[in-house]
């Protein structure tokens, strides 16, 4: 208690006021008294002064103690108020306490005044401390509400005791909805192994930190970085758990996508190596089939040979598709016929999708060409087809259609594209469909309805991005239980499509006894190609690597007319071999071949002035045609038809 109390005393009797002051002095209660006699003086004192205690008579001329109590509480609600009166009765005294008075003292018992004041000041001090503590708690709660992390407090049975604003934002439940609920039932699905294990570790160590998979009010799956702290009572017994959760869902999705991208890069590199080896293995099969075709006599043997050739060519197509998908999005936009892409996608789906899914395709005659990147359009159709497959676990119909459409201002409304001719790609399934709420979000990055590990939520986001970069737009319609339809609009181009020569079986010209140097590390390819060329009246010498080829060329330089070399070999690879041969003879005619046929190989071959480039496995007629034109033309230029065949190595 203060050494000197500031006391305001409302008393109209000067004698009684002196008596009260003397009683306080006798009780050794240091104080500074301000005595007022009227309502006006009392109000002025309240307005101008600050007091630790207020005392008042009950009955005053033109004024009363209850009115004074109301004025005092309005100005200083925390200051104790004691009635000191000679006329107050028991009933009135009780009423004053109900109205908020701290105590009442009758003037005939003033000996109770000092103890009453002391008790009132102690109680007031305790009340102030409680108020300060409550204010501090409110301030802390306000700070917790401003925190970005979801903060909650649970009892030892995981019943929620506190739930801040960020928890409301993250999970969707308001504090009113969450308080009293069990956190395990509210935030976790059937598997409670993670929170149970976390609780055991918390009790053992006093704290726990880790990742938890939780659900929100709208059943959205999220991942949080969770930090738990064990709170104890005064006896050291566990009483509650402070939980701080940070939403790391997007971070984990980005990490998963990064890992997926890295895996795809590894798969792409692996696919390139496998494709090279497969093409090397398929090359002698296809060349030998052409070589022995005329040697067969029976129709049965010819039919078997035809089946073998068809299977080998199908394997070649599958290798092309694997390479196309593994390399991902990239490359320039060229004039493209969508029907070719649809054909490849249909073949891929027929080979890999469950037999319970019926695949239908319909491409309009005279389909407009589009300026597009074939790999990207592959990816668009593949993503849509895979989604359609996943939407039909019990089977159904997958339909791919392409047709020409002319869009006017009315049709194009709501889109940024210009009216005009478009190619409309429609992918339809008879699967489970989507709700309107899901359909609104399918193009958002990382949004997926698939289980963890079965989808990244980037497939349709990628589709939308690719279509927009092609100047097109996407429309989707779906009904639950009725299936889904995607419409891809791609602007048509007025540039004519380049066709290969399809005017019947190609001519296979004979050689004139020219000497050919054949270089390849694959023995089977060397032997079959040598036999083939010799059957068409060429002379052939072979080398198993670049170093042997350079040595042979130096010995037979005047006689060798053309060098056919693989681009990927041990000891000395194709580019190094070509460089060494050009050093010996700058005018040497060279045909490059590769089982990979990548853009980098083509570029490098062009930089080294290779007259032609063939991708394994190449048709026999292409090799013979290239040789013929290199040998019969003075410039060594290859005809438009042959160069088109040689350079369009990947479809």
pLDDT tens digit sequence for 60-70: 888 988 999 99
CATH 3.40.50.2300 domain range(s) in the chain: 5-137, 515-647
Q: Is 93 exposed, middle or buried (0-12, 13-18, 19+ CB in 10 A)?
A: middle
Q: Let me know the angle formed at the C-alpha of 341 by 339 and 342, rounded to the nearest 5 degrees.
A: 65
Strands annotated E in 448-605: 473-479, 483-491, 515-519, 539-543, 560-566, 589-594
- Fold of the CATH domain 147-247: Beta-Lactamase (3.30.450)
State the Cα–Cα distance between residues 458 and 467, nearest whole angstrom: 14
Helix residue ranges, H only, 179-248: 183-187, 193-205
Cβ atoms of 381 and 348 within 8 Å: the answer is no
**pLDDT digit string (tens) for 3-32?**
688 999 999 888 889 988 888 888 778 888
Q: Which range is least confidently modeled, 67-81, 415-429, 475-489, 597-611?
A: 597-611
H-type helices in 76-112, by residue range?
Answer: 90-98
Residue found by looking up tokens 């032997």 in the block: 527
360 strand-pairing partners: 399
Q: Both tokens of residue 317?
A: 């197509």
Domain covering 338-496, topology: Heat Shock Protein 90 (3.30.565)
The CATH number given to 515-647 is 3.40.50.2300
Average pLDDT over residues 610-631: 84
Indicate if the alpha-carbon torsion angle 490, 466, 458, 381 is positive or negative.
positive
Pair of tokens at residue 621: 């007629």
Token pair of 578, please? 């070509």
| Range(s) of the chain covered by CATH 3.30.450.20 | 147-247
Q: What is the pLDDT of residue 548?
A: 93
Chain position carrying tokens 């299936």: 483
* Dist. CA 432–CA 240, nearest whole Å: 45
Residues of the chain with CATH 3.30.565.10: 338-496
457: alpha, beta or left, given left = phi > 0 and alpha = psi -120 to 50? left
Q: For 257, list phi and psi in degrees, rounded to 5.
A: -65, -35
Residue 568 pLDDT: 84
The secondary structure of residue 76, as a DSSP letter, is -
The reported pTM is: 0.43
pLDDT attached to residue 499: 41
Given the structure tokens 């201002």, which residue do they identify?
Answer: 409
Is CATH 3.40.50.2300 the classification given to domain 5-137?
A: yes
pLDDT confidence tier of residue 633, bands split at 50, 70 and 90: low
Give the integer Cα–Cα distance in Å for 522 and 285.
Answer: 13
First to last CA, the chain: 96
591 and 567 in contact (C-beta within 8 Å)? no
């Amino acid at each position: 208690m203060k050494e000197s109390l500031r006391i305001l005393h409302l008393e109209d009797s000067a004698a009684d006021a002196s008596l009260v002051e003397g009683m306080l002095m006798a009780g050794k209660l240091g104080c500074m008294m301000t005595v007022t006699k009227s309502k006006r003086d009392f109000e002025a004192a309240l307005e101008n002064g600050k007091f630790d205690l207020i005392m008042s008579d009950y009955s005053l001329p033109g004024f009363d103690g209850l009115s004074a109590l109301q004025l005092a509480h309005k100005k200083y609600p925390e200051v104790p108020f004691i009635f000191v009166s000679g006329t107050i009765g028991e009933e009135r005294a009780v009423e004053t306490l109900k109205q908020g008075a701290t105590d009442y003292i009758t003037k005939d018992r003033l000996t109770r005044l000092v103890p009453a004041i002391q008790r009132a000041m102690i109680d007031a001090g305790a009340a102030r401390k409680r108020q300060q503590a409550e204010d501090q708690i409110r301030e802390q709660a306000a700070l917790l509400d401003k925190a970005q992390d979801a903060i909650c407090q649970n009892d030892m049975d995981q019943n929620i005791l506190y739930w801040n604003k960020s928890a409301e934002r993250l999970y969707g439940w308001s504090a009113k909805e969450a308080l009293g609920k069990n956190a395990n039932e509210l935030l976790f699905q059937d598997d409670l192994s993670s929170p149970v294990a976390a609780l055991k570790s918390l009790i053992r160590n006093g704290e726990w930190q880790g990742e938890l998979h939780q659900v929100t009010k709208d059943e959205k799956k999220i991942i949080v970085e969770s930090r738990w702290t064990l709170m104890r009572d005064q006896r050291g017994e566990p009483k509650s758990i402070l939980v701080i959760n940070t939403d790391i869902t997007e971070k984990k999705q980005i990490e998963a996508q990064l890992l997926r991208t890295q895996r795809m890069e590894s798969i792409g590199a692996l696919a390139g190596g496998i494709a090279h080896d497969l093409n090397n293995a398929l090359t002698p099969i296809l060349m030998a089939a052409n070589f022995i075709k005329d040697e067969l006599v029976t129709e049965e043997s010819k039919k078997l040979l035809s089946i073998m050739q068809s299977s080998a060519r199908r394997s070649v197509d599958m290798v092309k598709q694997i390479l196309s998908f593994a390399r991902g999005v990239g490359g320039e936009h060229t004039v493209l016929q969508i029907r070719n892409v649809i054909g490849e996608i249909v073949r891929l789906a027929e080979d890999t999708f469950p037999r319970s899914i019926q695949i239908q395709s319909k491409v309009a005659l005279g389909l407009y060409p589009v300026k597009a990147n074939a790999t990207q359009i592959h990816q668009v159709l593949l993503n849509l087809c895979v989604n359609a497959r996943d939407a039909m676990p019990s089977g159904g119909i997958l339909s791919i259609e392409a047709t020409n459409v002319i869009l006017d201002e009315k049709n194009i409304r709501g889109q940024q594209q210009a009216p005009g001719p478009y190619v409309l790609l429609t992918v339809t399934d008879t699967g489970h469909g989507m709700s309107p709420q899901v359909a609104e979000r399918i193009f958002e990055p990382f949004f997926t309805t698939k289980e963890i590990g079965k989808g990244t939520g980037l497939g349709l986001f990628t589709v939308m991005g690719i279509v927009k970069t092609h100047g097109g737009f996407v429309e989707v319609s779906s009904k639950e239980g009725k299936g889904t339809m995607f419409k891809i609009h791609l602007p048509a181009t007025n540039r004519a499509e380049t066709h290969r020569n399809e005017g019947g079986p190609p001519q296979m010209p004979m050689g004139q006894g020219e000497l050919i140097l054949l270089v390849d590390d694959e023995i089977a390819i060397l032997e079959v190609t040598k036999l083939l060329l010799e059957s068409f009246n060429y002379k052939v010498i072979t080398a198993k690597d670049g170093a042997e080829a350079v040595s042979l060329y130096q010995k037979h330089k005047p006689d060798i007319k053309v060098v056919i070399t693989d681009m990927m070999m041990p000891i000395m690879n194709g580019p190094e071999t070509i460089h060494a041969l050009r050093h010996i003879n700058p005018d040497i005619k060279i045909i490059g071949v590769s089982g990979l046929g990548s853009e980098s190989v083509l570029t490098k071959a062009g930089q080294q002035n290779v007259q032609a480039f063939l991708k394994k496995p190449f048709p026999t007629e292409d090799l013979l045609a290239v040789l013929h034109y290199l040998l019969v033309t003075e410039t060594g230029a290859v005809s438009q038809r042959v160069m088109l065949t040689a350079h369009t190595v990947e479809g």
